[in-house]
């Protein structure tokens, strides 16, 4: 790979004014804990079953520290479209979810648990208080966050910032003292005793890191930086640079001598750049044009070759809202937020809508003085600059508001707003940038940029990257186990398997069997092709007369097709099979 040294020219980004912003944090608190942070693991999470009363007991273990734990329950393989189809100019009130996305059933109030083993009990009711069907399967998630203990000050730098965990120890990149500087530091440094333990590089004009910065996952010394922006620079695009010693140099064989996309992007704002699967995705909005529009430019990360443009729905930039100021990309799609936009949304890699949160639930909606929210209202109220894609399709977005602010708002796999994270111990600040790492490793957790809300920030010690432990795990809630009922306390003279009744059936059929000796007993149902459909009994039973029922569902809790099914019992040396017909 050829590189060419570039002449560094200082540039000044235009300032912004945000009105009566509401900070988060405690003005009396100062984060002073440095070094390597504590991490949280949620262990022993697995499949659970409904109890006879319709409740569910979910055991788990917290290792590393205590945490506030949230239980989130979703449908399983039951994706459906809810709300109305998105129109070209607006979204009707309500959550829009594509029909292959499972939907939220229930989310608990967070409850603090100390380190150790615990159990959460779900009452089996949805968020409206209605009992759910105990004969279906559900996916549940446990989200734990230590929002009570001191955060760990792991790095320094302005927003935006990126953490590279592929090297040991990790490296943190961030905007430097000014928007035309990039800061690099080593994760976990003792910043109280060595506040100058960082490097700072001058950006290559006309690039700047006002809002965007990305690290190449294949090379921690290679960066992608937006070019121009804020209506003051030349035509925009992306620069690809490499750090060599104390200098930042352009990679010449990327685009046109290190710059790409000048020919497809106008001279407006280029906020975010993200890498995924050999491609880079660049958020671009025409906020100064008439009419406004919002786009994502997609290109080859190695060569800078332009691939295609995703034109985002007009609601993203209507009514004075800007977007996408923040995007993140994973294998399932692209997560997007906008400055002053009431919508958080997700699209696939070609731009097709997956979900939109615009339902007036208080998550990224326009705010009013009486703390009410209206679905689809445009304009200031919430300023969301960053969104992070998490494990299992969760998303984490900063939530700065003029009435209510939170450090991070958590969104579920269908875009539902779940809960807010506001650490009890945090300096008084304005939410700008946050990210979540959940790689099952020693650096997992929630990170955010923290700088003083009031007064002059002292560089670099007033520009902190803080960490608190966070983990997410999931399991399955299965239908209640079929109870084997002993009909009579007698010892039959011969083993037998009865005819199922009723037969045919469409809701439930009963099967009785007699055992003359105690043995491990297995009663199974097969379809006409011989495929195992359901295990009705699989346990040690003594001599006696027993009864069990089948509800016409398979092991996943899904209703089977109409047809003829074979049920077979094996107990010790006894084996017998019969047929039953299921009709929908």
Q: State whether the Cα torsion 354-322-405-463 is positive or negative.
A: positive
Bridge-based pairing state of the strands 56-63 and 333-339: unpaired
Residues 394 and 521 in one domain: no
Residue 529 and residue 470 in one domain: no
If asked whether residues 285 and 311 sit together in one domain, one would say yes
Give how many domains the chain has, as a whole number. Answer: 2
- 3 state SS for 71-113: EEEEECCCCCCECCCCCCCCCCCCCEECCCCCCEEEECCCEEE
Cα gap 505→537, rounded to integer Å: 20
Q: Are residues 558 and 473 in the same domain?
A: no
φ, ψ at 197 (rounded to 5°): -80, 65
- Domain boundary residue among 435, 459, 477? 477
The answer as to whether 130 is a domain residue is no
- Residue ending a domain, among 418, 453, 477, is 477
Interatomic CA distance for residues 527 and 533, integer angstroms: 6
Q: What token pair was written down for 351?
A: 């731009």
pLDDT confidence of residue 526: 97
Q: How far apart are CA 265 and CA 212, in angstroms?
A: 16
CATH number at residue 539: 2.60.40.1930
Q: Which residues, in sequence order, are bridge partners of residue 145?
A: 68, 470
pLDDT at 421: 96
C-beta atoms surrounding 350 within 10 Å: 10
CA distance 345 to 334: 8
What is the layout of strands, in order, in the sheet containing 574-582?
Answer: 532-541, 519-526, 563-571, 574-582
**Structural contact between residues 266 and 289, judged by C-beta atoms closer than 8 angstroms:** yes
Residue 91 lies in a domain: no
CA dist., res. 513 & res. 488, Å (int): 11
Distance separating alpha carbons of residues 30 and 51, to the nearest angstrom: 47
Q: How far apart are CA 409 and CA 219, in angstroms?
A: 31
pLDDT in tens, the chain (584 residues): 223 323 222 222 222 333 457 889 999 999 999 999 999 999 999 888 888 788 999 999 999 999 999 999 998 876 554 444 333 334 444 456 665 678 899 999 999 999 999 999 999 999 889 999 887 889 999 999 999 999 999 999 998 899 999 999 999 999 888 878 899 999 999 999 998 899 998 876 655 666 678 999 999 999 998 875 444 444 567 889 999 988 889 999 998 888 887 666 555 556 689 999 999 998 877 666 666 678 888 999 999 999 998 888 765 555 555 667 789 999 999 998 877 666 788 989 988 888 888 666 778 766 655 555 554 454 456 778 889 999 999 999 998 877 778 899 999 998 889 999 999 999 999 888 999 999 999 999 999 999 988 877 888 888 999 999 999 999 999 877 666 788 876 788 999 999 999 999 988 899 999 999 999 999 999 999 999 999 999 888 999 999 998 989 888 777 899 999 999 999 999 999 999 999 98
Give CA–CA dist 306/311, Å, rounded.
15
Report if residue 10 sits inside a domain.
yes
pLDDT reported for residue 426:
95
Q: Does the residue 44 lie in any domain?
A: no
**Residue 359 structural domain:** 3-36+147-477
Q: Is 314 helix (H, G, I), strand (E, B) or coil?
A: helix
Centre a 10 Å sphere on the Cβ of residue 453 and count the other Cβ atoms it contains: 16
How far apart (Å, rounded) are the C-alpha atoms in residues 264 and 244?
30
Q: Tell me the two tokens of residue 512.
A: 């009785």
Q: Please state, in angstroms and rounded to a whole number, the distance separating the CA atoms of residues 67 and 290.
A: 49
CATH number of the domain within which 428 lies? 2.120.10.30
For residue 28, give every residue at least 6 positions away whose Cβ sits within 8 Å of its Cβ, in sequence order, or none.
Answer: none
Q: Do 513 and 576 belong together in one domain?
A: yes
- In 3-state terms, what secondary structure has residue 47? coil
| 526 shares its domain with 552 | yes
Structure-block tokens of residue 529: 């092709």
Residue 54 inside a domain? The answer is no
Write down the pLDDT at residue 1.
Answer: 27
Distance separating alpha carbons of residues 241 and 214, to the nearest angstrom = 11
Task: Note the pLDDT of residue 351.
Answer: 87
194: Cβ contacts below 8 Å, ≥ 6 apart: none
541: its two tokens: 């039973």
- Does 113 reside within a domain? no
Rounded Cα gap, residues 302 and 237, in angstroms: 15
Sheet holding 445-450, edge to edge: 152-156, 464-468, 445-450, 434-437
CB–CB of 148/112 below 8 Å?
Answer: yes
Residues 190, 257 within the same domain: yes
Tokens of 560: 């089977």
Last residue of a domain, which of 477, 501, 516?
477
Tokens of 206: 């006309």
Q: Do 331 and 213 fall into the same domain?
A: yes
Dihedral sign for Cα atoms in the order 102, 106, 110, 115:
negative
Model-level pTM? 0.80
CA 186/CA 170 separation, integer angstroms: 6
Fill in the DSSP letter of residue 383.
E
DSSP letters, 363-404, are: SS--B-TTS-B-TT--SSSEE---EEE-GGG-EEEEEEESS-
Residues 172 and 257 in one domain: yes
In whole angstroms, what is the distance from residue 314 CA to residue 294 CA? 7
503 and 399 in one domain? Answer: no
Domain co-membership, 195 together with 286: yes
> Whole-angstrom Cα distance, residue 175 to residue 208?
9
CA-closest candidate to residue 409, choices 439, 425, 388: 388
262 Rama sector, left if φ>0, alpha if ψ -120 to 50, beta otherwise: alpha
**What is the per-residue pLDDT for 208?**
61
What does the radius of gyration of the chain's CA atoms come to, in whole angstroms? 29
Q: How far apart are CA 153 and CA 322, in angstroms?
A: 32
In a domain, 127, yes or no: no
Q: How far apart are CA 127 and CA 109, in angstroms?
A: 11
In-domain check, residue 100: no
Together in a domain, 506 and 418: no
């Amino acid at each position: 790979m050829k590189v060419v040294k570039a002449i560094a020219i200082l540039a000044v980004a235009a300032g912004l004014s945000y009105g009566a912003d509401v900070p988060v944090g405690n003005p009396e608190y100062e984060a002073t804990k440095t070094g390597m942070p504590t991490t949280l693991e949620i262990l022993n999470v697995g499949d659970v079953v409904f109890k006879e009363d319709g409740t569910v007991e979910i055991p788990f273990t917290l290792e590393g520290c205590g945490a506030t734990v949230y239980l989130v329950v979703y449908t399983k393989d039951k994706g459906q479209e809810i709300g109305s189809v998105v129109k070209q100019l607006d979204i009707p009130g309500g959550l829009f979810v594509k029909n292959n996305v499972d939907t939220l059933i229930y989310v608990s109030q967070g409850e603090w648990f100390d380190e150790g083993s615990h159990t959460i009990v779900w009452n089996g009711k949805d968020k409206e208080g209605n009992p759910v069907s105990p004969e279906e399967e559900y996916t549940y998630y446990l989200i734990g966050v230590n929002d009570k203990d001191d955060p760990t000050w792991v790095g320094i730098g302005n927003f935006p910032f990126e953490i590279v965990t592929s090297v040991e120890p990790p490296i943190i990149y961030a905007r430097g003292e000014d928007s035309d500087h990039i800061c690099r530091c080593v994760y976990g440094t003792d910043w109280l005793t060595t506040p100058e333990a960082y490097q700072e590089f001058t950006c290559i004009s006309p690039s700047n890191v006002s809002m965007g910065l990305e690290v190449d996952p294949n090379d921690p010394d290679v960066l992608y930086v937006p070019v121009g922006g804020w209506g003051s620079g030349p035509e925009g695009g992306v620069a690809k640079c490499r750090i060599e010693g104390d200098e930042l140099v352009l990679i010449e064989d990327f685009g046109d001598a290190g710059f790409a996309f000048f020919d497809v992007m106008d001279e407006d704002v280029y906020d975010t750049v993200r890498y995924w699967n050999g491609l880079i995705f660049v958020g671009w909005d025409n906020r100064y044009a008439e009419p406004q529009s919002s786009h994502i430019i997609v290109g080859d990360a190695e060569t800078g070759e332009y691939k295609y443009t995703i034109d985002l729905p007009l609601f993203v930039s209507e009514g004075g809202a800007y977007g996408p100021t923040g995007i993140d990309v994973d294998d399932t799609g692209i997560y997007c937020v906008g400055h002053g936009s009431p919508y958080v949304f997700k699209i696939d890699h070609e731009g097709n809508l997956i979900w939109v949160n615009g339902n007036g639930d208080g998550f990224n909606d326009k705010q009013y003085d009486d703390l009410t929210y209206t679905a689809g209202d445009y304009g200031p109220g919430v300023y969301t600059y960053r969104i992070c894609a998490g494990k299992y399709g969760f998303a984490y977005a900063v939530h700065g508001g003029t009435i209510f602010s939170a450090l991070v708002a958590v969104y579920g796999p269908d875009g539902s707003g779940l809960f807010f994270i506001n650490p009890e111990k945090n300096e008084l600040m304005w939410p700008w940038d946050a990210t979540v790492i959940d790689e099952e490793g020693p650096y997992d957790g929630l990170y955010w940029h923290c700088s003083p809300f009031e007064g002059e920030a002292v560089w670099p010690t007033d520009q902190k990257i803080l960490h608190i432990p966070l983990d997410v795990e999931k399991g399955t809630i299965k239908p209640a186990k079929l109870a084997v009922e002993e009909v009579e306390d007698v010892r039959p003279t011969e083993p037998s398997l009865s005819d199922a009744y009723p037969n045919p059936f469409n809701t439930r059929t009963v099967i009785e069997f007699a055992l003359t000796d105690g043995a491990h007993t297995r009663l199974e149902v097969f379809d006409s092709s011989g495929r195992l459909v359901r295990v009705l009994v699989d346990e040690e039973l003594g001599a006696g007369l027993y009864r069990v029922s089948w509800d016409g569902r398979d092991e996943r809790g899904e209703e089977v097709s109409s047809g003829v099914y074979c049920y077979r019992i094996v107990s010790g040396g006894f084996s017998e099979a019969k047929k039953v017909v299921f009709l929908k």
